[in-house]
Amino acid sequence: MLDVIFLGTGGSMPTEGRNLPAIAVQCGGSVLLFDAGEDIQRQLGRAGIGVNNRLSVFITHMHADHVLGLPGLLLRFSLLGRTRPLAIYGPEGLIEYVRVNQQTIHLGTSFESVVYKIEKGPVFHSEHITVSAFEVDHRVVAFGYEIVYQRPTGTFLPDRALELDVPRGPLWRALASGEDVKLQDGRTVSPSDVTTAKPPGLKIVYSGDTRPCRALSEAATGADLLICEAMYTSEDSQMATERGHMTAAGAARIALESRAHMLALTHYSPRYGDGSPILAEARGIFPETVLARDLMRIELGNSEGPKVTSGE
């Protein structure tokens, strides 16, 4: 099960009720954070994400609206005594940016930060999640991210385990988490003996800031959730081209062509008020579109597909 929480949905400038871009993807006790817009530290508190979580940060590009929150995050975590190391991934320039900002924390950070310069391709792998970067088309070097979650097994079937004389307890837990177990009589039981077939993986794609581009369309193919910037409506498409951004229609066409299940639009300009014109334009092309709001949550991993669970 994955939970996506929009911590900031603004484009360029924070406004009342809308912070700058930041998205948290929660999976069990781990949190992946995509972009770190200004004031992300308070948004993490509001979203109930703890200080000492297993956390990795992925930055799309070095424009201020996407990185201004990082120094605040480092400071907050230090003041509150974080001890777990923090991994930060992003393009060239991020290493120096973090180094300079760390120096402003006069007592030093209470935890180790490691910053990785990324290239396109896989950048992160944990037990269940792989994050890959792809290069997009913006005014500076910029990446989008593809997040794939694969459950280790299908649903655990207690009756099958009992039939095979696997004792309840730690062996059941090991099988349910994808490990083979050895019984006292020497037999080995595999997860596939006592679970349903493994469900397909879940894919989330985040565009970062970009013009429509082939790399984004390819990454978005079959995505359960495409999170795409939609800075402008088509009326302002000239501006979108000049400034390296997307229109709502452009984002919707990518979702349609790549057969994504749901499109969540974010990073929309304050000029459109509550964003209604952005949503209307996209829905005309791709009806399964939602407009992200700060602290909105989308849950993935249910049989009925991605679902907005709060904040719409």
Least distance to Zn ion, CB of residue 242, Å? 13
β-bridge pairing 30-34 and 188-189 = unpaired
For Zn ion, give the closer residue by CB, 189 or 213: 213
Per CB under 5 A, does 245 bind Zn ion?
A: no
- Pick the stretch among 58-66, 129-137, 148-156, 297-305 that binds Zn ion (CB under 5 A): 58-66
| Minimum separation from the CB atom of position 12 to Zn ion (A) | 6
Q: Which two tokens stand for residue 55?
A: 């956390």
Query: How many residues bind to Zn ion according to rule CB under 5 A?
Result: 3
Which of 63, 203, 211, 293 touches Zn ion (CB under 5 A)? 63
Least separation, in Å, of the C-beta of 22 and Zn ion? 11
For the CB of residue 117, give the shortest distance to Zn ion in the complex, in Å.
Answer: 18
Q: Which is nearer to Zn ion, 146 or 209 (CB)?
A: 209
CB of 205 to Zn ion, least distance (A): 17
- Residue 38 interacts with Zn ion (CB under 5 A)? no
Q: Please, which residue, 191 or 208, has the CB nearer to Zn ion?
A: 208
> Measured from the CB atom, is 8 or 306 closer to Zn ion?
8
Please state the three-class secondary structure of the chain as a single string.
CEEEEEEECECCCCECCECCCEEEEEECCEEEEECCCCCHHHHHHHCCCCCCCEEEEECCCCCHHHHCHHHHHHHHHHHCCCCCCEEEEECCCHHHHHHHHHCCCCCCCCCCEEEEECCCEEEEECCCEEEEEEECECCCCCEEEEEEECCCCCCECHHHHHHCCCCCCHHHHHHHCCCCEECCCCCEECHHHHECCCCCCEEEEECCCCECCHHHHHHHCCCCEEEEECCECHHHHHHHHHHCCCEHHHHHHHHHHCCCCEEEEECECHHHCCCHHHHHHHHCCCCCEEECCCCCEEEECCCCCCEEEECC
Sheet with 143-149: strands ordered across: 121-125, 129-135, 143-149, 202-206, 225-229, 262-266, 289-291
Sole binder of Zn ion in the list 38, 146, 209, 288 (CB under 5 A): 209
Nearest approach, Cβ of 120 to Zn ion (angstroms)? Answer: 18
Which of 39, 65, 224, 288 binds Zn ion (CB under 5 A)? It is 65
Q: How far, in Å, CA of 292 to CA of 243, rounded?
A: 22
Tell me how far, at minimum, the Cβ of 209 lies from Zn ion, in Å: 4
Q: What is the contact mask toward Zn ion in residues 167 to 206, using x (rule: CB under 5 A)? A: ----------------------------------------
Q: Which conformational region is residue 246 in: left (phi greater than 0), alpha (psi within -120 to 50 degrees), or beta?
A: beta
Query: Does 39 sit near Zn ion (CB under 5 A)?
Result: no
Q: Is position 65 annotated as part of the catalytic site?
A: yes
Catalytic residue among 39, 65, 209, 294: 65
Contact between 211 and Zn ion per CB under 5 A: no
Contact stretch for Zn ion (CB under 5 A) within 30-38, 51-59, 61-69, 111-119: 61-69
Other CB atoms within a 10 A radius of the CB of residue 16 amount to 5
Span of 28-36, 98-106, 208-216, 298-306 interacting with Zn ion by CB under 5 A: 208-216
288 binds Zn ion (CB under 5 A): no
Determine, following the binding rule CB under 5 A, whether residue 281 of this chain makes contact with Zn ion.
no
Report, as residue numbers or ranges, the catalytic residues: 65
Q: Which residues contact Zn ion (rule: CB under 5 A)? A: 63, 65, 209
